[in-house]
Copies of this chain bind each other. A is one copy, B any other.
Amino acid sequence: MKKPASTNSSDKILAAATRIAQAHGYGGLNLRVLAEEVGIKAASLYHHFPSKADLAAAVAKRYWEDSAAVLDGLAGETQDPVACLRKYPQTFRISLENNNRMCLSSFMAAEYDDLPEHVQREVARFADVNVAWLERILLAAGIAPPAETPARARAIYAAVVGAQLMARGRADIALFDTLIATYQASGLLPA
C-alpha cells in the first residue's frame, strides 16, 4: 500500500520539479524557485537529492514510469488496438492543455548536450517505453507487416512528438489536433 504521492517532501519536490521542467527544461529548472514552490529553502533540496542532476534523473525516471502506467491503462480499457492508436496522441495533448507544457523527454532531448549521462539514460527510456507500447498495439492491430512494425512505431512516436513541439511553438492546441488528423489522413496513423 503506497501512501499518496503528496505525503512526503521528496514526492512533492519531484512533482513540482516535473511541472517546472516540462515548461522550462533542465537548464530552466531553478532550484530556488522549486524550493519556494515546495515551501523550503534551496539548500534543503540537497537533503532529498544529492544534486540537481540526480533530482532530474529521478524526475525523468518517474516520468517514464508514469507514462508506462498510463499507456498500460489505455491498452487495458480499450481492447480494440486501432481505437488505442487513435487515442494515443491524446497522451501528448494533455501536456499542451496544461499551460502549453510539453513532454519532459522531448524538452530534454533538445537539451541533450547539457544533460548528465544518467539523465540522458532516463530520458531515452521514455521514448523506449512509448515505442515498445506502439509496437505491441501495431502488431495486435495488424496495421503493418511485422517486419516493419518497429520502424512504424518509431515514426509514429517521432511524428507525434514533432506535432507537440510545433503546436507549443505557436501555443496552439488546435494545430496539434490538425496535425494528428493529417497523420491519420495520410496513413501514418490509422484513421
> Which A residues lie at the B interface, using CB under 8 A?
23-25, 27-28, 100, 102, 105-114, 123-124, 127, 148, 151-152, 154-155, 157-163, 165-166, 168-171, 175, 178-179, 181-183, 185-188
For A162, the chain B residues whose CB sits under 8 A away are: 157-163, 165
* CB nearest neighbor in B for A106: B165
Interface centre among A160, A166, A168 (most CB of B within 10 A): A166
A-B contact pairs, 27 of them (CB 8 A): A24-B113, A24-B114, A25-B25, A25-B110, A25-B111, A27-B28, A28-B113, A28-B114, A105-B169, A106-B165, A107-B110, A109-B166, A110-B110, A112-B168, A124-B170, A148-B182, A148-B185, A152-B186, A154-B178, A154-B179, A158-B159, A158-B179, A159-B163, A159-B183, A159-B188, A165-B165, A187-B187
For A168, the chain B residues whose CB sits under 8 A away are: 109-110, 112
B123 touches A169 (CB 8 A): yes
For A100, the chain B residues whose CB sits under 8 A away are: 112-113
A124 touches B169 (CB 8 A): yes
A25 vs B111: C-alpha distance when bound (angstroms)? 7
For A160, the chain B residues whose CB sits under 8 A away are: 162
* CB nearest neighbor in B for A162: B162
A121 vs B105: C-alpha distance when bound (angstroms)? 25
**A154-B179, A182-B155, A187-B187 in contact; A169/B25 too (CB < 8 A)?**
no
A111 touches B28 (CB 8 A): yes
Chain B min CB distance to A156 (Å):
9
